[in-house]
Amino acid sequence: MKETMKKVVIHSAGSYDRLRVEEEPVPEVASDEVLVEVAAIGVNYADVIVRMGLYASAKEYVGWPITPGFEVAGRVTAVGPDVEGLSVGDEVCALTRFGGYASHLVTKAAYVFPRPSSLSFEEAAGLPTVFFTAWFALCELAHPRPGAKVLVHSAAGGVGGSLVQVAKILGTEVVGVVGGSHKVDTAKSHGADFVIDKSTQNLWAEAERLAPTGFDVILDANGVATLRDSYEHLRRAGKLVVYGFHTMMPKKGGRPKLLKLAAGWLRTPRFNPLDMTNQSKSVMAFNLSYLFERVDLLELGLRDLERWIESGGVKAAPVTTYPLEEVARAHADIESGTTVGKLILIP
C-alpha cells in the first residue's frame, strides 16, 4: 500500500473552517525534485491571505483547492535522479511556492538547503521565508550604506525581526516599531537601536525625534495605515520598501471585510513618478512568491545566510508551536497582531 501523508487543504475562500486536514498518497519526485518528511512548518501572514482568497499568486499558480505554506524543515527521504548535493537522510530547510502545510513535501532541489546545526527544526522552519524577504528588501532593493538610518515597522514579527537583524549586519542604525509593550524586548533582542511602541508613544513624533532629517530606508508591510507617512518621513534619496498591506485585513473573525478592503484600496496612496523625481525619493515593492524563478538570487541569499548564521549575525526568531490539526488557532493568532516571532506547525 502506498504511503499516505497529511496536509491542510482549502477548497474555497473563507474563514478558519476552510482549513481541513486531509490524507492523500505521498507524491513521487520528478528528476530535479526532493521529497522532505516534514518536521516543522513556518506560518506566515501571507497564508492567511491565501485562505481568504485574496493572494494573487495563489490564484495564478494554483487555484482551488490549495495547500498554503512557503517554508518547512525536515529530512530528505527521496531525491530525483538529476539532483546533486542532497541525499536521503539529510536534515534540511526548504522553500516552496505553496504546499508547505503537509507532513511530506515535494519541492525543487534548488529550494532546499542544509538545516543549520545551531537551530532546531522548529527554529529552522521559521527562517527561509522571513530571511529571504528581508535579504531581498535590503540587499537587492534598498542597499543601505553603513550608518544609514532605517525604520522597520512590525519589528517584533518574523519578517520584521529578520529585517532588523540584516539591517544591523549591514551597519545601519535601526529604529523598530511595535504595536504593544510586550513586543519591545523582542525587537531589542533582534538588535534594534531604538524601539517605538505605538501603544504608548506617538509613532511619527518619536520617529522625527530619532531622525530629524528623515530616514534613509523605511520598510513597511502595513499598507494604507502608514504608507503615506512612511514616504513623508524619508530623507532626500530615501527609499520606501513595501512588501504587504496588513492593516487592510481583519484582526479577528477570519473573513475580509469588503467595506474595509474597498476603503483601504481607495485610501492607499498612489505615488506619482513626477513628484518622486522632484522629491528624490523612491518607492520599491515586491512579493516573494513571484520570485521563485530567480534561483540566482536565492543562491546569493543562501550564501549570505550561511555566513551570517555562522558569525552569529542572524539568529532564529522565538517560536510558538501548534499541532497541524490546530492550524485554525495558529491563523487566528497571527491575524490578531499580538504574536511575536514565528508561529510553527508540527505535523
Closest by CA position to 154, among listed 164, 143, 166: 164
Which pLDDT value is given to residue 250? 77
Rounded Cα distance, 139 and 143, in Å: 5
Extract the C-alpha cell encoding 302: 543562501
Cis peptide before 65 (omega within 30 of 0): yes
Question: What is the rounded distance in angstroms from the CA atom of residue 211 to the CA atom of residue 231?
Answer: 14
Say what the pLDDT of residue 256 is: 81
For β-strands 173-178 and 33-43, DSSP reports them as: unpaired
For residue 60, give Cα distances in angstroms to 63, 69, 155, 289: 7, 16, 30, 11
Between CA 3 and CA 21 the distance in angstroms is 16
Residue 248: what pLDDT?
81
d(CA 200, CA 204): 12
CATH topology assigned to domain 130-289: Rossmann fold (3.40.50)
Mean pLDDT by 10 residues, the chain (347 residues): 91 96 96 98 96 95 97 98 96 97 97 94 95 96 98 95 97 97 95 97 98 98 95 98 87 82 87 96 97 94 90 89 98 92 96
Between CA 111 and CA 129 the distance in angstroms is 11
Question: Quick one: fold of 4-127+316-346?
Answer: Quinone Oxidoreductase; Chain A, domain 1 (3.90.180)
The whole-angstrom distance between residue 62's C-alpha and the CA centroid of its chain comes to: 20
Q: How far apart are CA 172 and CA 215, in angstroms?
A: 11
- Which pLDDT does position 262 carry in this prediction? 85
Q: Cα(244)–Cα(146) distance, rounded to whole angstroms? A: 26
Q: Which residue has the cell 497582531?
A: 337
Q: Say if pTM beats, i.e. exceeds, 0.85.
A: yes
Query: What is the maximal distance between C-alpha atoms in the chain?
Result: 68
One fold for both 4-127+316-346 and 130-289?
Answer: no
Domain ranges of the chain: 4-127+316-346, 130-289
Instruction: Give the pLDDT of residue 1.
Output: 63
